[in-house]
Chain A
């Protein structure tokens, strides 16, 4: 299985607010970040916690500016995120920032 993203890629996290278990914290939803590196491949907890089949999928370290997450702050926050939580950051959104 190949990875959809490479280090340096800009990504946007999901905005979904699922009723089931997820490892995408609320504070990092709908946020633009940069892929740092591949951490490994693990089954998606959202599926596994519901007893659904879950094949291992890429998990990435993704870095966010604090201002992007909280509207303030000069630090960075790095999260480990499953590929299913991410999509490529659209060009127009990237320009608008």
Chain B
């Protein structure tokens, strides 16, 4: 996963070397890896995460299954955490009246790409990664997100093989909204936890 300076440079060089060997021996086509990567990324979009959130807002049963075992609940919407190098465990963390969650990967930039799309540049920045664990309120304020003083903030650092996604609170005044309309309200920043929704 990590490939940012230090030992990562050695790893990247090794990967390129193995890739070259595989190509030279005719085991993979030169464009095959690019195609696989493009296919994965073309399906990766924050619209997927937004669909999950909208369904959870409308369906209490789905919400409960999602929070208990997100990887197992995703196929209900035709989604999965597979498609990358290995299937990863997804953990969805719900914001409530008293809890606000925000995700980070302090070691590199891990996050559920299939549900959130490619990560924004700031998510990978040293500044976000080092500051959000120490001063989440300060960082959230810069995004215009200001949970009340009585709301406890939990930062989720993706240091192992699970990937995290935030389930934002359903905005007020959306009682009559359809599932598609609700999904349209959800932003990538909301799924990361640096926006309310």
Query: Chain A: residues with CB nearer than 8 A to chain B?
Result: 21, 23-25, 27-28, 39-40, 42, 49, 59, 61, 63, 66, 69-70, 73-82
Separation of A23 and B161 alpha carbons in the complex (Å): 10
**Using Cβ atoms and an 8 Å threshold, which residues of chain B touch A80?**
157-162
Contact sample, A vs B, 26 pairs, CB 8 Å cutoff: A23-B107, A23-B159, A23-B160, A24-B159, A25-B106, A25-B107, A25-B159, A39-B89, A39-B160, A39-B161, A39-B162, A42-B160, A59-B162, A73-B134, A73-B135, A75-B155, A76-B155, A77-B154, A77-B157, A78-B156, A78-B157, A80-B160, A80-B161, A80-B162, A81-B160, A82-B160
Min CB distance A59 to B, Å, is 5
Interface status of B124 (Cβ within 8 A of chain A) = no
How many A-B pairs have beta carbons closer than 8 Å: the answer is 67
Please name the residue on chain A nearest to B161 by beta carbon.
A42
**Using Cβ atoms and an 8 Å threshold, which residues of chain B touch A77?**
133, 154-157
Separation of A79 and B160 alpha carbons in the complex (Å): 8
Separation of A52 and B154 alpha carbons in the complex (Å): 35
Separation of A24 and B106 alpha carbons in the complex (Å): 10
Query: Chain B: residues with CB nearer than 8 A to chain A?
Result: 2, 7, 89, 91, 106-107, 133-137, 152-162
Separation of A96 and B161 alpha carbons in the complex (Å): 33
Question: Are B154 and A78 closer than 8 Å at their CB atoms?
Answer: yes
**Using Cβ atoms and an 8 Å threshold, which residues of chain B touch A76?**
152-155
A-B complex: 9 closest residue pairs judged by Cβ atoms? A80-B160, A75-B153, A77-B155, A76-B154, A59-B160, A79-B157, A23-B159, A80-B159, A79-B159
Separation of A13 and B106 alpha carbons in the complex (Å): 17
